[in-house]
Structure formats: structure tokens, C-alpha cells
Structure 1
Amino acid sequence: MLALDHIAVLGESLEEAAAHLEAAVGIPLLPGGRHNRFGTHNRLLGMAPDLYIEAIAVDPAAEPPTDARWFGLDHFSGPARLDKWICRVEDMVSALQALPIAGEPIEVSRGGLSWTMAVPKDGFLPFDGLFPALIQWHGTQIPGRTLPKGGVRLQQLTVSHPEADALQALLAPHLSEPLIRFETAAPGLAAELETPLGEVQLT
């Protein structure tokens, strides 16, 4: 089964991604770290219930990877925006047997955290990037449970795509998540959040 783990705001720089997220929620982000495997870095924000948001971008100080970066970050352009959703799995091998289009398992670590991520060879997730990235955490101390919530709660995540029905049907046997809805529209994500600023929409 898939369970929503976190959502990601991408930017051409980490500063742009973080500023976009902070402007929406009215809360400063916490330091994240560097992902040496993919040459990226991030900042984090805890979110109820047991979720989080990351701002992520290419790290200009990092050695470029020999293959494609995750989340299609090699080719990301334009304004910072909510661009990815990430689902947690208990067994990546079984998950990829059921959903092979998610990519190939890659081992990643940052600080005291380690996880396996499914990443397509070209870095691009299916359905114009709107297929969820799959993650398997190793250990119980995962960011969604350990980060302070800061008064932010996810009320709903809308996944929009011209082929939303096909995407929903593909995921339906594996995903039972009342916070997620699918909508037939141009590709995009929108998160309805409860924040100290009131109810806001993060896009």
C-alpha cells in the first residue's frame, strides 16, 4: 500500500523554492541538508498529520551526478511551485513489482536518515511528473513524524492531469488516502493548507 509521505516545492534555486513556500505558509523553514547522490539540497517544514513539505533544488556547489537527478530537476525551469508528491511504501521491491513505471530503486542517505527512492532512468516521473515518487524509509525516525508541525495541516491535495482518471485507476488498488483527490485538468498540484495565516492554497 502507498501512504502519502510528503509534498515537494521545486525551484531553480533553493532560495526561490523556500521563499515560495514560506510566503504561502508564513513560517520559516527548517534546515534540511544535501543529497550527494543526486546533487540537490533542501529545507523542510513539518505538517500535520505526520507529513512534511520540502523545498528542493539543484545544489550548485555539489558534484553533478553521473545519471539523471530525481524529480526531473535537471530540466526544471520557471517559477518555484508545488510540483511533486511522494508516497511511502513498506517494501520497495513489492511496490515496484506492482508499479514498475515508478522507476528503479536507488539508495540515498542524508545525515542520520537513509531511504530507498524509486527514480526513473531519465529522472522524469510518468504522467508529466504527476505520478507519485515512491520512498521506503529505513528506520522509524522519519521526518513526517519527527519534524515540529508549526501549525500547518494538510486538508487536501489535488492532483490534476488530463488523464487523471487513468492515473487514479492505476493507483487505486494501492492507494487509500482520503486527503488526495484527482481532477481532470492541466497537469499540476494544489495543496489546501491550514496555516497560521489561515486557509491557503499552495501551488
Structure 2
Amino acid sequence: MPRLDHLSVIAPSLVEGIAHLQECLGIDIPFGRKHPHMGTHNHLLQLGEAAYLEVIAIDEEAPAVPGPRWFGLDDRAAVRKAWDDGKRLRGWVASTDHFAQRMAQHPGVFGEPREFHAGTSSYFFSVPVDGSLPMQGVVPSLIDRKGKRPTLAPETQRGCELVAFTLEHPDTARIARLYEALGVSGAPAVTHGEAFRYTATIRTPSGIRILT
């Protein structure tokens, strides 16, 4: 069964992203890694044993990449608009050990299969052909680390834990049916809202905080 792997704050820049995390959670989260194959970079925060959080943005110092970046980052105007509208937690990733099977079971839902190499390891990741978020972000991207667990540096441990992950959406019945069909453990709870918006409730050393 696919399972929640991590949440993604999609930022116009890492400076803005980490400032938002400081405002919401009261925590400075450390730099994570660069993604040369996508021209992006991130900061990472562990959220208990089951999941983590990333703030991801275009790496302006990276060389040009041959195709579209993931998470819809090439559409800078859309990223900026969502950011200015307060929609900053906009993506999530689910991990699976059966990548090809899951992709075949749900053709066109997650995007196209891609294989990336990072140092001595490699992994599969789903990316729509235009680089956008799968189904505008309603469904997760899929990742298959080929049997390996995510490797986060010790400094990403800041005593935080994911308490709840929620999606507000005007069509709750349709989204609930979709999540049931995908069978992702840890998928967001779906509640009614006038607009599509994610919320994460996170326990921090200073108490419960809300990330949007």
C-alpha cells in the first residue's frame, strides 16, 4: 500500500519558504539537498517517524535542465499567485515499493514514470509530462526508493510531529472516492471548503501549530 512520505511547501524561493515555516511553526529548518536533475533545492524537517516536510523552490544557480521541473515550479506566475493567496502547502508525496504496478493501476493519474540518480542511489518518481502537480495537487506524486528509507540529516530532527493532514475541497465526495481508490495510507482527511486548500497540524516543542 502506498503511504504518506512527505509534505511539500512549494515556494517562489527558499528564503520565502523558510520564513513561512518560521512564522507558522516557530522553527528554522535546515537546508536539505540540491536536485541537479530538476534544478531545484529544498529544506527538510522530520515530522515524527512516519513523514517529513520539505520546502522546495527553483535553484537559481543551477544549470538549465532539459525538461520541465516537478511540482509545477516552472509556472512561476502560478507559484507566486498561490503563495500570495496563502496556499503554500500545496503538494504531497506517497512512497511505494511497487511503482510500476501502481502507475499501471491508475494510468494518467500520477503522471509519467521518471528515474533519477542521486549519488550512488536512484529512485523512481512520477511527474506529469508538463511538470505540473498531479491532478493540480489533489493526488500525491509517487516515489519508489527501491527499498531504501529516506535519509535525513540529524539536524532535521527538531522535535516536531505531524498530528493531522487535511484537504478542504468543494467536492468532498469525489475526492474521498478518489482517495479510497488510490488506497494511500496517511492520505489527507477530506473536509468541505469553498476552495482547495491543504492544512497540516504539527506538534512542535512550543505547542500545536498550523501550516498552510
121-130 or 186-195, larger mean C-alpha shift = 121-130
What is aligned with 1:189?
A: 198
Deviation digits for residues 158-199 of structure 1 (CA, Å, limit 9, x no counterpart): 022233322321221332535730123211110011111211
Q: Is the 1:131–1:167 Cα contact (8 Å) retained in structure 2? A: no
Structure 1 position 125, deviation (Å): 2.6
Moved more, 19-28 or 3-12: 19-28
* Shift in Å, 1:19: 1.6
RMSD value over aligned CA atoms?
Answer: 2.2
User: 8 Å contact 2:44–2:55 — kept in the other structure?
Assistant: yes
Counterpart amino acid of 1:191? Answer: A
1:199 and 2:208 are equivalent in the alignment = yes
The equivalent of 1:110 in structure 2 is 118
Match of 2:80 among 54, 77, 82: 77
Report the residue type matching 1:32 in the other structure. Answer: G
Shift of 1:45: 0.6
**Letter of the aligned partner of 2:27 in structure 1?**
I
Q: Hey, what does 2:19 align to over in structure 1?
A: 19
Partner of 1:34: 34
1:3 aligns to what?
3
Matching residue within 155, 169, 177 for 1:169: 177
Name the CA distance, whole Å, in 1 between partners of 2:130 and 2:105.
20
TM-score, with length taken from structure 1: 0.89
Q: C-alpha separation between the residues in 2 aligned to 1:164 and 1:146?
A: 38
Identity, in percent, stands at: 33
Helix, strand or coil at the partner of 2:60: coil
Aligned 1:21-170 pairs, distance under 5 A: 21-75=21-75, 76-78=79-81, 79=83, 81-100=88-107, 101-111=109-119, 114-143=122-151, 148-170=156-178
Letter in 2 for 1:180: P
Would the alpha carbon gap of residues 147 and 104 (structure 1) be closer, same or farther in structure 2, given more than 3 Å must change? farther
**For residue 12 of structure 2, what is the amino acid of its counterpart?**
E
Shift of 1:27: 2.4
1:51 and 1:144 in contact (8 A); partners too: no
Q: Letter of the aligned partner of 1:70 in structure 2?
A: W
One-letter identity of the residue aligned with 2:130? D
Aligned residues between the structures: 203
Separation in 2, partners of 1:17, 1:87: 22
Q: Which segments of 5 or more consecutive residues in structure 1 lack a partner in the other structure?
A: none
Could you give the per-residue CA deviations for residues 132-179 of structure 1, whole angstroms, max 9, x where no partner exists?
111111342313797753211111100222333223212213325357
Secondary structure of the residue aligned to 2:148 is coil
Deviations 1:35-65 (A, max 9, x none): 1111100111111132110010011011232
Post-superposition shift, 1:70?
0.6
Q: State the distance in 1 between where 2:163 and 2:50 align.
A: 13
Contact 2:125–2:143 under 8 Å retained in 1? yes
In the superposition, relative to structure 1, how do residues 98 and 35 fare at CA in structure 2: closer, same or farther (>3 Å)? same
Between the aligned partners of 1:180 and 1:144, the Cα distance in structure 2 is 23
The one-letter amino acid of 1:187's match is: F
